[in-house]
């Protein structure tokens, strides 16, 4: 019977368990330093660590030599503790703000602004602004490839394309944000061309069996979401194409009403596409608001090959061990320090053993 403790063959990598650490953008440093080394090292009990969203352009990402060197120290420490780690490649597209990226315009497949938004870092807390339509998507595909090359220099085991949550790659997929009339818009095939081209390019860097993708079919967050019919058709096509490329895994996130207060998204069952993914070569990762019981059941029933945990990994650096040993989970989140700051609410959460020692 498959459980959290069951090892998982992911391409050439043997994961020690089926507990995956989700990408959690914690906004600590533009260049990874000792604090980030400690943070990721604390969580090496995971079968696989997915890093925070890492920008492919010259900001807090993997663009400069200094950033590559910082990430290499993290990768080396994770490997020294018998862990595996993929870098998540990220471009936010239209939900950026020019004032937060040195005046450079935010970009998107089409000049359509996302509704809502609130940039708390800027005076007056402005919302989203109308993006500049991308002239040549191949320019951005090349940026993703270059970021993958830099990730390989840093020693990562693989990379994940962030194609979810209303960011650039997702914006090309969704027909409410992509209204192009060229080969990059219109049909499901054309709208999926951008993420598939990226997958092909980064697979050329790492090998297809060291590449994953994150998708959020239901939308909601960052003003995304198609009709149920269009969602089913579009993601059915995309997942078939991804499976044919025999990539390492496809990560699908469940609909989460908390991140969709305007009810913008469309609930769809992510497991409707389970039979399109051949786990002999491409694993199915399920994400969003799983607890220990739900995760264990999804593995036992064969619905997912691994479970991706986000917030629980913030407060439980030893989450994999707690799940495997059926130990109590820490849900005392320091929400104030989720984003930005120093070690507080970042590396100061205790393990189960530390909690037990303190209370003994």
Lowest mean pLDDT among 9-23, 53-67, 148-162, 172-186: 53-67
Q: How confident is the model at residue 57 (pLDDT cuts 50, 70, 90)?
A: confident
Band of pLDDT at residue 29, cut at 50, 70 and 90: confident
Q: DSSP secondary structure string, 7-37?
A: -EEETTEEESSSEEEPP------SS--HHHH
pLDDT over threshold 90, residue 283:
yes
Q: What is the pLDDT of residues 170-209, one digit of tens each?
A: 999 999 999 999 999 999 999 999 999 999 999 999 999 9
Query: What percentage of residues in the chain have a pLDDT greater than 70?
Result: 98
Nearest to residue 222, comparing CAs of 93, 118, 114?
A: 114
The residues annotated with a catalytic role in the active site are 167
Residue 10, Cα to own-chain centre: how many angstroms?
A: 17
Angle at 30 between CA 28 and CA 32, to 5 degrees: 75
Beta strand ranges found along 114-239 (DSSP E): 132-133, 158-163, 211-215
β pairing state of 8-10 and 13-15: antiparallel
Least confident range of 88-92, 211-215, 323-327, 353-357: 353-357
- Whole-number pLDDT of residue 271: 98
Q: Do the beta carbons of residue 173 and residue 95 sit within 8 Å?
A: no
Distance of CA 154 to the CA centre of its chain: 19
Q: How confident is the model at residue 27, as a pLDDT?
A: 73
Which tokens is 109 given? 């497949």
Q: How far is the first Cα of the chain from the last one, in angstroms, to the nearest whole number? A: 35
Q: Which of 52-66, 120-134, 282-296 is predicted with the least confidence, judged by mean pLDDT? A: 52-66
Q: What pLDDT sits at residue 277?
A: 98
Residue pLDDT, tens place only, 238-269:
999 999 999 999 999 999 998 888 899 999 99
Distance, C-alpha 246 to centroid of its chain: 19
Residues 296-354: tens digit of each pLDDT: 999 999 999 999 999 999 999 999 999 999 999 999 999 888 888 889 999 999 999 99
* Cross-strand bridge partners of residue 287: 253, 308
pLDDT per residue over 157-166, tens digit each? Answer: 999 999 999 9
Per-residue tokens: 99: 């004032």
Taking 80 as the threshold, does the pLDDT of residue 59 lie above it?
A: no
Q: Among 3.40.309.10, 3.30.413.10, 3.40.50.720, 3.20.20.70, name the CATH number for the domain at 8-357.
A: 3.20.20.70
* 8 Å CB contact between 36 and 70: yes
Residue 222: how many other CB atoms lie within 10 Å? 27
Q: If pLDDT is split at 50, 70 and 90, which confidence band does 359 have?
A: low
Domain ranges of the chain: 8-357
State the virtual CA torsion across 53, 57, 61, 63 in degrees, nearest 10.
140
Q: How much is the pLDDT for 358? A: 58
Average pLDDT, the chain: 95
Could you tell me if 3 and 323 are in contact, meaning their C-beta atoms sit under 8 angstroms apart?
Answer: no
Residues above pLDDT 90, as percent of the chain: 87
Round to whole Å and give the CA distance between 3 and 19: 10
């Amino acid at each position: 019977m498959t459980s959290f403790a069951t090892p998982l063959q992911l391409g050439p990598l043997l994961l020690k368990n089926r507990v995956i650490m989700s990408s959690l953008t914690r906004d600590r440093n533009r260049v990874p330093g000792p604090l980030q080394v400690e943070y990721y090292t604390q969580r090496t009990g995971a079968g696989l660590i997915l890093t925070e969203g890492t920008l492919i352009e010259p900001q807090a990402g993997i663009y400069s030599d200094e950033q590559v060197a910082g990430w290499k120290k993290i990768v080396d420490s994770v490997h020294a503790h018998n862990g595996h780690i993929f870098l998540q490649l990220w471009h936010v597209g239209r939900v950026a703000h020019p004032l937060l990226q040195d005046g450079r315009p935010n970009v998107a497949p089409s000049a359509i602004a996302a509704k809502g938004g609130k940039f708390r870092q800027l005076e007056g807390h402005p919302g989203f602004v109308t993006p500049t339509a991308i002239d040549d998507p191949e320019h951005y595909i090349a940026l993703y490839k270059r970021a993958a090359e830099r990730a390989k220099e840093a020693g990562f085991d693989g990379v994940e394309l962030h194609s979810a949550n209303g960011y650039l790659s997702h914006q090309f997929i969704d027909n409410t944000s992509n209204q192009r009339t060229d080969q990059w818009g219109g049909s499901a095939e054309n709208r999926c061309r951008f993420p598939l081209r990226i997958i092909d390019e980064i697979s050329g860097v790492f090998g297809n069996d060291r590449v994953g993708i994150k998708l959020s079919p239901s939308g909601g967050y960052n003003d995304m979401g198609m009709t149920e019919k269009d969602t089913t058709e579009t993601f059915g096509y995309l997942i078939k194409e991804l499976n044919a490329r025999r990539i390492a895994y496809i990560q699908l996130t469940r609909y989460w009403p908390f991140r969709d207060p305007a009810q913008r998204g469309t609930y769809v069952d992510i497991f409707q596409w389970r039979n399109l993914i051949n786990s002999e070569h491409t694993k199915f990762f399920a994400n969003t608001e799983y607890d220990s019981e739900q995760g264990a059941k999804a593995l036992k029933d064969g619905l997912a090959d691994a479970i991706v945990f986000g917030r629980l990994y913030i407060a439980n650096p030893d989450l994999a061990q707690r799940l495997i040993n059926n130990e109590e989970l820490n849900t005392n989140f320091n929400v104030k320090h989720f984003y930005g700051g120093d070690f507080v609410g970042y590396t100061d959460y205790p393990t189960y053993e530390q909690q037990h020692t303190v209370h003994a």
